[in-house]
Amino acid sequence: MTTRPLVEVVPAAAFGEHVAGLLADRLAARPGLVVALPTGSTPLSVYEALPGVLRRRGMDAATATVVLLDEYLGLSAGHRARCDEVLGRALLDGLEAAGLRRPPFLAFEVDEVGAEAACARMEAAIDAAGGLDLVVLGLGANGHVGMNEPGSAADARTRVVELAPSTRDAAVGYGATEPPTHGVTLGMATILAAREIWLLATGARKCAILSATLDDPLTPDVPASLLRRHPGLRVIADDAAAP
Ligand code: PGA
């Protein structure tokens, strides 16, 4: 039995500041926060707002640990479409530009040890950090979270995955010339083991999938629906995505 999670609806223009404020609250409450963060377009307004929010509150994020949610395979180190590069530019560089220190960053070590070993290392690094306090997710239009594509089971750990066509196309939009076919992602079980999960959804094109995520039966066909098993799930949507 699962209950419908509470959905916080925020005007689109205020979304970034609102979620950045919530993140700052978490950092204030737990300076050693271990937080997994996504790329994609959904969180960009949050990352843009966060340095300013922290500065205004006289805070820094340097004692937190940032964990990368997922990564494409087949793009060379430093490629601008890689998730580690995107998060670096969107958030870590932004913190530095605002005069704040960069927090430690756990990326997948795919170049160093290969994809499979990088997944095992990521799980071990999360354990060594004391587990994930918070996972922030952007809801994918096909119901994926991270690169847990439709068909991903609730017990799936961090692993190599084949990407759905829409996820491949998105990589091209971020600057990959050849669409990557595979990626590595924190698994559903890894995400569900976090103390808290925030699912973000913005824009009218997420309205139907957000509705399915919240109200349809739990199913691996909509991996985001599986998050409803977690008592610490918080759904934050802008007014265009809210069903
Ligand atoms: P978006 O996608 O944030 O670029 O809309 C989310 C996702 O597909 O993970």
Please tell me the distance from the alpha carbon of residue 164 to that of residue 203, in angstroms, as a whole number: 21
Report how far apart, in Å, the C-alpha atoms of 73 and of each of 168, 202, 234 are.
11, 26, 30
140 lines ligand 1 (CB under 6 A): yes
Please tell me the distance from the alpha carbon of residue 36 to that of residue 168, in angstroms, as a whole number: 22
1 vs 23, which has greater pLDDT?
Answer: 23
3-class secondary-structure state, position 135: strand
pLDDT in tens, 77-120: 999 999 999 999 999 999 999 999 999 999 999 999 999 999 99
Please tell me the distance from the alpha carbon of residue 113 to that of residue 100, in angstroms, as a whole number: 31
pLDDT at 128: 98
How does residue 2 score in pLDDT terms, banded at 50, 70 and 90?
low
Token duo for residue 173: 């939009």
pLDDT in tens, 147-187: 999 999 999 999 999 999 999 998 888 888 889 999 999 99
At residue 1, does pLDDT exceed 70?
Answer: no
Q: Is 71 a catalytic residue?
A: no
Q: Whose CA is nearest to atom 9 of ligand 1?
A: 140
Which ligand 1 atom sits closest to the C-alpha of 139? 6
Q: Is the distance from CB of 133 to CB of 30 less than 8 angstroms?
A: yes
146 lines ligand 1 (CB under 6 A): no
Phi, psi of 210 (to 5 degrees): -65, -40
Mean pLDDT across 8-25: 98
Ligand 1 center from residue 202 Cα (angstroms): 9
Please tell me the distance from the alpha carbon of residue 113 to that of residue 15, in angstroms, as a whole number: 38
16 lines ligand 1 (CB under 6 A): no
Q: Is 182 a catalytic residue?
A: no
Q: Is 144 a catalytic residue?
A: yes
Catalytic residue among 70, 71, 133, 238: 70
238 vs 4, which has greater pLDDT?
Answer: 238
Ligand 1 center from residue 208 Cα (angstroms): 14
pLDDT at 243: 82
Token duo for residue 2: 């699962």
Mean pLDDT across 221-230: 98
Mean pLDDT across 46-71: 97
pLDDT at 135: 98
Ligand 1 center from residue 2 Cα (angstroms): 25
Ligand 1 center from residue 206 Cα (angstroms): 9
Please tell me the distance from the alpha carbon of residue 16 to that of residue 3, in angstroms, as a whole number: 27
Q: Is 142 a catalytic residue?
A: yes
Percent of residues, the chain, with pLDDT higher than 90? 93
Q: What is the pTM (predicted TM-score) of this model?
A: 0.97
2 vs 137, which has greater pLDDT?
Answer: 137
Catalytic residue among 84, 144, 148, 238: 144
Q: Say which residues have a Cβ less than 8 Å from residue 222's Cβ, sequence separation at least 6.
A: 143, 150, 209, 212, 213, 216
